Amino acid sequence: MSQKTRMAPKPDPQSLSATAADSSAQVSIDPFFHILKFVPYSFLRPPRLRLKLPSFSLPSAMTVFSLILLTYFMVVSGFIYDVIVEPPGIGSTQDPATGAVRPVVFLSGRVNGQYIIEGLSSGFMFVLGGIGIVLLDLALDKNRARSIKVSYSIAGISSIVIAYVMTTLFIRIKIPGYLR
């Protein structure tokens, strides 16, 4: 057969057996096949199973994007800092006058330090701002009903505004001399 002369230069016996098995579907020259036909499977009967190898298909782009957004939220809220440095969830100071213990949300004094809760809330604000811009883009897509477009654009604009205002507020609380 002309196919065989144009095959791979060094055919190993398994590929040869595959070609032979394919070209003449009945008789196989595979020795292992013949051995196995005799030794266990002449008296053992394999059961009829309806198993299928799990087929592996690539997820869609938007699924991957949502996973990435989750990872981004974790990284940007200082998750690794939390795991290694193990700060408390929220700080506390003692009121000098009354002696009561008051919670302190923002770790002040250092730029590279945080409590867990402040990290998570800031990370949420960043992701909210990002989603706001995404919603704006979805609102400008032509193939939707007008009411949905309007609601997307309102949600997008309000998300961006809230996220920006809150983030500026947070950084002003944390770094007292900000922009002065």
3-state class (DSSP) for residue 10: coil
- One of 35, 36, 39, 75 touching other proteins (CB under 8 A): 75
**Site for other proteins contains 105 (CB under 8 A):** no
- Distance of closest approach, residue 106 Cβ to other proteins, in angstroms: 9
**Site for other proteins contains 67 (CB under 8 A):** no
Q: What phi and psi values does residue 93 have, to the nearest 5 degrees?
A: -130, 160
DSSP secondary structure string, 18-77?
HHHHHHSSS----HHHHHHHHTTTTT---------PPP--PPPHHHHHHHHHHHHHHHHT
**Site for other proteins contains 117 (CB under 8 A):** no
In whole angstroms, give the CA distance from residue 99 to residue 97.
6
Which is closer to other proteins, CB of 42 or CB of 143? 143
Number of residues that bind other proteins (CB under 8 A): 61
- One of 28, 104, 126, 162 touching other proteins (CB under 8 A): 126
**Site for other proteins contains 24 (CB under 8 A):** no
CA 8 from chain centre, in angstroms, equals: 41
Interface ranges with other proteins (CB under 8 A): 3, 6-8, 12, 14-15, 18-19, 22, 58, 61-62, 64-65, 68-69, 71-72, 75-81, 83-85, 111-114, 118-119, 122-123, 126-127, 129-134, 136-137, 140, 153, 157, 160, 163-164, 167, 170-171, 174-175, 177-179
